[in-house]
């Protein structure tokens, strides 16, 4: 999973608007692109750089419960790392919303994996 800045942040970096000071503070606080967050998480988990981090796009998540849990933990670690970096410029309310997004993203990914396993299971005779 690659994580990119919201388009409004990018806009505020290139066109002066009311949010430009916050966008610039974010840029200064995050000199390493957020995409590197994913690569760092893969390296920490001893996974190859081309490991598919999109839960829905990795068929191993459907075939193996262990692989699915590993993928969900990896996704969670990436989102926690992004929140840690973002704490430099997000308000407490925005961080709570990010936490809610992270919780829902993991829950939805887990539910997707479970649904796919049921759909792919052999039909009983």
Give me Rg for the CA atoms of the chain.
17
pLDDT > 90: percent of the chain: 14
The reply to whether 125 falls in a domain is no
- How many distinct structural domains can be found in the chain? 1
What's the pLDDT at 103?
94
Backbone angles phi, psi at 110, to 5 degrees: -60, -45
Q: Where are the alpha helices (DSSP H) in the chain?
A: 7-14, 20-29, 35-44, 60-63, 65-86, 92-120
pLDDT digits (tens, 9 = 90+) for 11-26: 666 677 787 888 788 7
The reply to whether 30 falls in a domain is yes
Measured torsion, CA atoms of residues 31, 26, 75, 45, in degrees rounded to the nearest 10 = 30
The reply to whether 1 falls in a domain is no
The reply to whether 51 falls in a domain is yes
Which residues in the chain come in under a pLDDT of 50?
Answer: 1-4
**Domain range holding 74?**
7-120
The reply to whether 2 falls in a domain is no
C-alpha neighbours within 13 Å on the C-beta side of residue 72? 20
Degrees (nearest 5) of the Cα angle 82, 100, 112?
Answer: 90
């Amino acid at each position: 999973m690659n994580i990119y800045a919201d388009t409004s942040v990018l806009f505020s970096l290139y066109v002066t608007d009311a949010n430009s000071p916050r966008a610039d503070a974010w840029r200064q606080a995050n000199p390493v692109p957020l995409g590197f967050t994913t690569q760092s998480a893969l390296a920490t988990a001893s996974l190859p750089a081309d490991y598919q981090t999109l839960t829905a796009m990795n068929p191993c998540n459907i075939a193996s419960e262990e692989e699915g849990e590993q993928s969900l933990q990896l996704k969670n670690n990436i989102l926690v790392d992004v929140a840690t970096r973002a704490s430099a410029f997000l308000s407490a309310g925005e961080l709570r919303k990010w936490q809610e997004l992270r919780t829902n993203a993991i829950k939805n990914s887990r539910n997707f994996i479970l649904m796919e396993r049921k759909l792919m299971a052999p039909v009983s005779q």
